[in-house]
Amino acid sequence: MHHDVSVTDDKNIRKDLFFASSNLLKKIRQLEKDHTDFLLWDQILYQDWYNLTFRNELQAGELLEKRHKVLTTFQVHLKYVANTSDVPLERAYCMLKEEESQYQAGDDVWKFVIDKLRKNRFDTATRSSALPGEPAPVDDDEPAINFAEIFFKDDSALSGLRRRARSVYHYLNDIDDGMMARHLSVPMAGYQLFKETFQIAMKCGDWKLLGRLWKAADPAYQQRYLRNMPVHLKDFLQQIIAENASQEALEKEQAEAESLVRTTYRKLARLLHPDKQIGVSKEHQEWASIKWQRVQAAYKSQDHDALKRIELLCMAELGQLNDLTTDEIYQSSLVLNEEYESLKKNLKTCRKHPAWKFSGRRSYETLKKQARIDLEKRFGPLEAEVHMLENLLKMLSAAEMQAVH
């Protein structure tokens, strides 16, 4: 008795794969629920409790940060004036105080002048005090120049050529490779067109057009043109053509990848887009909303693998695996396993957050204790620095008063 080995009953294999996928889906849904509860309930409740419980400390900290900014900015001006005027800090303090008196007494024009002076002084001081290796602040008033537009997008490189040559250059840049090949295949005139256009492309530094010309030309044209060319120019030309070919291959690969991304994105959009969630349960709408956010993030980063994983996940969760091959079902189970492990890893991080399971807490003493420690770490050094700067100001003010009397 002979069996047709090309026909295999994969019913048991599919059943095992479906069972494994089903178990993973249950685990994934539980983890997703925990994660959703954390984001939509625990974190929000914790933040409200934190802001209310420590409102006095947070308000004091906010005032401390504002005062610190004022004092450190003044210190920058003080040190700069002292250094550039070669005077002690006490004298620099008096000079800045006099400047402020003029500012308060001056009209709008005079205030504008002093404001401008202070801005320039602060910018210069912060630039000069930057650590070695750190980039200095750059003014963005002047727009950046796109050199490609200067060299390739206008007729400036062609200004020394005849009008006919300029027309040919622009025409060949606009047509596709097939039409270019047909023009170059015309007997006699084809080689002359190849030669003239090649020289124009070389003159303009348009390596892309040069590469297209070389690719579209008859090999006999290539050999004829290279025959009398110096060796160093031949080497340069071959390098340019090779680089252009590599760039073309890369662009083709990128275009194919983008096409795959768009195709998968459209499939997911038909399934998950909010406009498609009409007449379905609230639970399904929430599920689709979460998946759609992930689709948007993956599409923004042009991550086709991520989009494909989301597609397989959706098919598995919706029970639409029957039409897939056993290999595709197996791949979907691998994706589900990756999803499960990723969720476990994310939740491991969430469990370290003080808001984890906050809605189920009955006591908050441990959280209060830790929060106060964190606030002390955050504002303690700042308070010490403000105290030091305030003492410096008092000392300078006292020195000024003593000098007056």
How far apart, in whole angstroms, are the C-alpha atoms of residue 154 and residue 148?
A: 10
Predicted local distance difference test score (pLDDT) of residue 376: 94
Task: Determine how many CB atoms are found less than 10 A away from the CB of residue 292.
Answer: 19
Predicted local distance difference test score (pLDDT) of residue 166: 66
pLDDT above 70 (res 282): yes
Please count the CA atoms within 13 angstroms of the CA of 81 that sit on its side-chain side.
20
Q: Measuring CA to CA, how many Å separate 129 from each of 76, 79, 98, 200?
A: 10, 11, 25, 51
pLDDT above 50 (res 3): no
Tokens of 104: 């308060």
The model scores a pTM over 0.85 = no
Give 141-169 pLDDT, tens digit per residue: 433 333 333 233 444 444 444 556 667 77
Predicted local distance difference test score (pLDDT) of residue 190: 80
Q: Show contacts of 188-193: CB within 8 Å, 24+ apart.
A: 190/218, 190/221, 191/221, 191/224, 193/168
Give 8-63 pLDDT, tens digit per residue: 456 666 667 666 777 777 787 788 778 777 777 788 888 888 888 999 999 999 99
- Collect all residues with Cβ–Cβ distance below 8 Å to 235 and sequence separation of at least 6: none
Predicted local distance difference test score (pLDDT) of residue 57: 92
Predicted local distance difference test score (pLDDT) of residue 65: 92
Give 198-237 pLDDT, tens digit per residue: 777 777 767 777 778 877 888 888 788 777 766 766 677 7
The span from the first CA to the last CA of the chain, in angstroms, equals: 122
- What percent of the chain is modeled with pLDDT above 70? 82
Highest mean pLDDT: which of 125-139, 150-164, 359-373?
359-373
